[in-house]
Amino acid sequence: MNRRNFMSSALASAGVLTGFEAIAEASAAPFQFENKLSLKILGTNWGFEGTTDAFCAAVKKEGYDGIEIWWPDTRDKQNELFTALKKHGLEVGFLCGSGETDYAVHLDAFKKSITAATTEYVQKPLYVNCHSGRDHFTYDQNKAFIDHTSEATEKTGIPIYHETHRGRMLFAAHITRNFIEKNPQLRLTLDISHWCNVHESLLTDQQETVKLALSRVGHIHSRIGHEEGPQVNDPRAPEWDATVKAHLAWWDAVVEQKVKSGETLTVLTEFGPPHYLPTVPFTNQPLADQWAINVHMMQMLRKRYLK
């Protein structure tokens, strides 16, 4: 028996693997989608070792609706992606961003990526999710990213969201509030795990700010973070009960808004590989199975939010 199977068997015997689902079922979500097509759950290729076709085949087999992936930077990679999407009948959301330190270079690369992802596709994306700006850029510098994506959405009709991500423009709750209040067109990808880490809390002291942010969410990255890190080792473990409940409450609020407005909600299951996923010292063996956690998240979210 290999290490992965041993861990899965041992945890299942201890009743640990059902902990997350038990929490989710203990108090039913206050709002659920009547139409199954109103909730689209996507898989991440982050940490997947294999071709794009193999990834799409694996995602389809698990029952995901589609994938979220960085916009390919070459024609060959684009052709590979769109061929795999068509073959396996999957939808897609694109990631765009830039890692440049110089502001002018960074913004230029970002604009080119957004333009390509919203005009050069073969299959129209459900949305574009942005790793926008940098935490050390000024407010006015970062606002340029919002202005550009707002124009792109108006021209193409493709929703473009800015992610609440460490190191980026919306790295902290109070910083994001300032952007929200001054930019009514701003829409968010909620990855609130980052804020738990940045503020070293479950944000109970910033409830009004979080409520405001939730009202602007179009897309969710359903990773669960905690006070000391952006990802718990395994959300199914009972020691994370309070943390899981906090994240479910935030997601419940977003679902409520989407149900009432009749909008579709997209969700990415985004538990990451090492070193987001903690490992055993010296061996670098992951403490849990990333793929299995993400599949579990997908199944739990469907069960919780679909009637």
Contact 227, 257 (CB under 8 A): no
What pLDDT is recorded for position 24? 66
User: Whole-angstrom Cα distance, residue 21 to residue 237?
Assistant: 10
Instruction: Dump pLDDT digits (tens) for 251-290.
Output: 999 999 999 999 999 999 999 999 999 999 999 999 999 9
Residues 6+ apart with CB under 8 A from 180: 186, 212, 213, 216
Element spanning 79, H or E = helix 75-88
Contact 127, 93 (CB under 8 A): yes
Instruction: Dump pLDDT digits (tens) for 12-58.
Output: 434 444 566 676 666 679 999 999 999 999 999 999 999 999 999 99
Between vectors from CA 179 to CA 69 and to CA 204, what angle results, nearest 5°? 85
What pLDDT is recorded for position 14? 45
Instruction: Output the pTM of the full model.
Output: 0.93
Peptide bond just before 275 cis, omega within 30 deg? yes
